[in-house]
Amino acid sequence: MSQQILQVTGLTARIEEKELLHGVDLTIRKGETHVLMGPNGAGKSTLGYVLMGSPKYTVTDGSIVFEGQDITEESADKRARAGMFLSFQEPLEVPGLTLESFIRSALQQKVGHVRYYDFKKELARCMEILQMDPDYAQRSLNVGFSGGEKKKAEILQLMMLKPSLAILDETDSGLDVDAVRLVSRGIEEYRKSQEGALLIITHSTRILDALEVDRTHVMVNGRIVADGDGTLVDEINRSGYERFEQSAEA
């Protein structure tokens, strides 16, 4: 059996007095691609933020074990250094900090010293895969970037940082067909080079067309109400979420 990367047990979380996650269980192993689907407002993005340690949310029950270590109380910064990565629906703009400098700094925090020549060579290779103009490396992080360019910049970070677990939140949102194809190529490159685990959070299925899915989870009202393999995605494409919403209400 492959190495266990993430073990979530009975995870319950709230924001202020509102409980948003209710007893979530989730296991992800090295090299696996998991998809978390559900209607808008189901709690999918909330789970991503809670797993990453966002201080906006309070865990009231359950545990998060990452690569054998209980990180339930750890900060987002420590989780990132340990090998977790979260792409955001709305990436932050950071004037004055170039995309290249941001990635190099993050890489140095993770692995220590980074040889500049090797870093530049790998950065150029990854940008070419994503068909990104090399000039973007010297632009301020996400400032003036289109939606598609922001998504490519995040996938570039994923390819360079090579985390053990990547949580991708609505990565295909707002992208045209060509951009989805390039982003998918970047994700596949990350998988090949790292054997990294993926948790893809989406209510669409476009990003999944080019990826092999190992497990699919359906979330409704803050609970995972169904688990299955890639065929569950096909069912959702055909019939939507009505069956799952009805089972959640039962």
Q: 126-140 in b/e burial notation, b at 16+ Cβ within 10 A? A: bbebbebeeebbebb
Q: Is residue 121 part of a domain?
A: no
Q: What is the pLDDT of residue 194?
A: 64
212 vs 130: which has the higher pLDDT: 130
* Tally of domains within the chain: 1
Q: Is residue 132 part of a domain?
A: no
At 132-161, the pLDDT tens digits run 999 999 999 889 888 888 888 888 998 999
176 vs 180: which has the higher pLDDT: 180
Q: Report the Cα 223 to chain-centroid distance in Å.
A: 19
Domain span holding position 210: 4-89+164-249
CATH number for the domain that contains residue 237: 3.40.50.300
- Torsion, Cα of 164, 167, 173, 178 (10° steps): 10
Q: What is the pLDDT of residue 23?
A: 95
Q: What is the pLDDT of residue 146?
A: 84
Q: Is residue 147 part of a domain?
A: no
Angle at 89 between CA 195 and CA 98, to 5 degrees: 80
Q: Is residue 152 part of a domain?
A: no
Percent share of the chain, pLDDT over 90: 48
Residue type, 102: F
pTM as predicted: 0.88
Residue 80 CB contacts under 8 Å (≥ 6 apart), including other chains: 52, 106, 109, 110, 163
Q: Is residue 129 part of a domain?
A: no
Q: What is the pLDDT of residue 185?
A: 83
Q: What is the pLDDT of residue 26?
A: 97
At 63-112, the pLDDT tens digits run 999 999 999 999 998 998 889 998 866 677 889 999 999 999 988 888 77
Q: Is residue 125 part of a domain?
A: no
